[in-house]
DNA sequence: CGTGATATTGAATTGCATCAAGCTAAGTGG
DNA sequence: CCACTTAGCTTGATGCAATTCAATATCACG
């Protein structure tokens, strides 16, 4: 019943000890709930997967036989609609889970937007981990709740903001996220997705997204360094625009 | 720091034993994870709250000192935006939680759209329950994941459907839900929210929502029995419309 | 029966989509 | 290394769906 994913990942099951201990994604992620003292148990339950840009990681409706914790890169989650269109529902990155372990099948497609490394936990191993470390259960709930809150934020964006506010909000969100991970390069924002993907995520067309971005550039609110890099010149202005309606 | 809720609920702390055992909302809800054999423990942790139509149940940003499990009625969850607008993010009903126990503060306003009864669990009591019945933890995760999936569904609706598709989708969703709870009255759907609320939830204006509904009525797809009741005459047509784009 | 809240309907406006070219940059293979 | 190709991005012109503004109709409730 499952559609095979023709693009296979490199499975590097490196028994490399000490990997988790120095994993930069661990704090604030799923595995943070496993105490350092039992880190070897965590490592034994885990498998490293690498995907190249544009490889599929999981397909909607396929059996979810494992859960994936992102350790680097950006993953696009999208859903197919009944009439063949597609809606991007989230971009996930280091520390995020690709899917939550509750549904037997994937509810979305997951695609690598950059080169991506993940930790894979098979269901049986995950179950054993959850039994061994009950805090993990709570951690999963926390992450799920956070994702729900983020989804609601996005519903607000889609439900009551205009094109300029949507793009401004998006740029600011990305900026805040990148600040956390790389505190240098203050005003520079990286966009691993195409304009079409950005637009789709924001409920706009490519053309509108492009026009808004270039509009911001003309107004000296941002500089379009390249298609994938934007410098934010006027955060205050972006903030104001992001809070406006349609 | 918290805004006081001027509209207080009737707290009927009925020690009424056997309440949970015959609670119609229990199957499929939060408390389903407590085994029947320990139902008295569940009852002792619980408090019944009643709210009248239009009473506030919880306010955004206020401390979330407890969690609420809806046992009857419909609750509207909405968020205030920075510029004073509002976006309704969900309508919840019997068996749903009003908020998940992970955040210290409410991320949305909760308002009763009908008379509502809830079970309140204070944080300490909830914590004790979770310790006593680890399955509850898993149940919470399941419910949170389901809510996330529903939120993503709604993002699809907001991101890539036109007004007619949005309304059709909404009517069908409500119909399916009501079928579950009251399997008589096949084609009748109850809308406890105003047109303005319905429209807001769907990312439309009152006028557009009204026009679409009356359009459906003119096309003999539905009958507007009253402002709060709609008969679905042509489910097939609604299905087709709900799957169309803009 | 009146009064305010909620719904409907109509006309005018507009923000975004759509359609249609060009343009740019990243590959690809000779 | 350079021509060729193609995917991705930008820009312009036009159309339309949904909003906005405005007025009336209907409902719910004291």
Buried b (16+ CB within 10 A) or exposed e, B82-96: eeebbbbbbbbbbbb
Residue ranges of chain B whose pLDDT lies below 50 = none
Q: What is the mean pLDDT of each run of 10 residues along chain A (246 residues)?
A: 61 71 92 94 94 95 96 97 95 96 94 96 96 94 97 98 98 92 77 98 98 98 96 97 95
d(CA B38, CA B99): 24
Which pLDDT value is given to residue A102? 87
Find which nucleotide's C1' atom is closest to A210's CA. D10
d(CA B90, CA B75): 8
* Lookup: tokens for A103: 């549904």
Collapsing DSSP to helix, strand or coil, B113 comes out as coil
Pick out residues whose CB falls under 7 Å from strand D.
Answer: A 194-196, 206-207, 210-211, 213-214, 224, 227-228, 245-246; B 162-164, 203-205, 207-208, 211, 226-228, 246
The answer to whether A131 touches B58, Cβ cutoff 8 Å, is: no
Nearest CA in chain B to A107: B149
Which pLDDT value is given to residue B15? 59
A window 34-73, beta carbon within 8 A of B = none
Q: What is the pTM of this model?
A: 0.95
The answer to whether B13 touches B48, Cβ cutoff 8 Å, is: yes
Which pLDDT value is given to residue A63? 96
Which pLDDT value is given to residue A10? 64
The answer to whether B207 touches A166, Cβ cutoff 8 Å, is: no
Which pLDDT value is given to residue B181? 75
The residue behind tokens 């459906």 is B216
> Which residues are bridge partners to A79 per DSSP?
A87
Which pLDDT value is given to residue A13? 62
């Amino acid at each position: 019943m499952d559609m095979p994913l023709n693009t296979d990942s490199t499975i590097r099951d490196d028994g490399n000890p000490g990997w988790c201990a120095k994993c930069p994604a661990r704090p604030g992620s799923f595995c943070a709930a496993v105490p350092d003292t039992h880190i070897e148990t965590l490592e034994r339950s885990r498998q490293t997967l690498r995907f190249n840009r544009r490889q599929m990681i999981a397909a909607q409706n396929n059996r979810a036989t494992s859960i994936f914790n992102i350790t680097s890169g950006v993953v696009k989650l999208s859903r197919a609609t009944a009439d063949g269109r597609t809606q991007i529902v989230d971009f996930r990155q280091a520390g995020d889970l690709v899917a939550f372990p509750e549904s037997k099948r994937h509810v979305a497609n997951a695609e690598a937007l950059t080169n991506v490394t993940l930790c894979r936990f098979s269901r049986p191993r995950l179950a054993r981990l959850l039994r061994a470390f009950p805090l993990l259960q709570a951690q999963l709930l926390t992450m799920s709740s956070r994702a729900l809150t983020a989804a609601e934020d996005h519903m607000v964006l889609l439900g009551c903001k205009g094109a300029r506010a949507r793009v401004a909000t998006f740029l600011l969100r990305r900026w805040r996220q990148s600040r956390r991970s790389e505190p240098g390069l203050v005003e520079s924002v990286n966009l691993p997705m195409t304009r079409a993907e950005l637009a789709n995520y924001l409920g706009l067309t490519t053309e509108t997204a492009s026009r808004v971005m270039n509009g911001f550039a003309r107004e000296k609110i941002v500089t379009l360094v390249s298609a994938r890099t934007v410098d934010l010149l006027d955060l205050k202005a972006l903030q104001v625009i992001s809070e406006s309606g349609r």
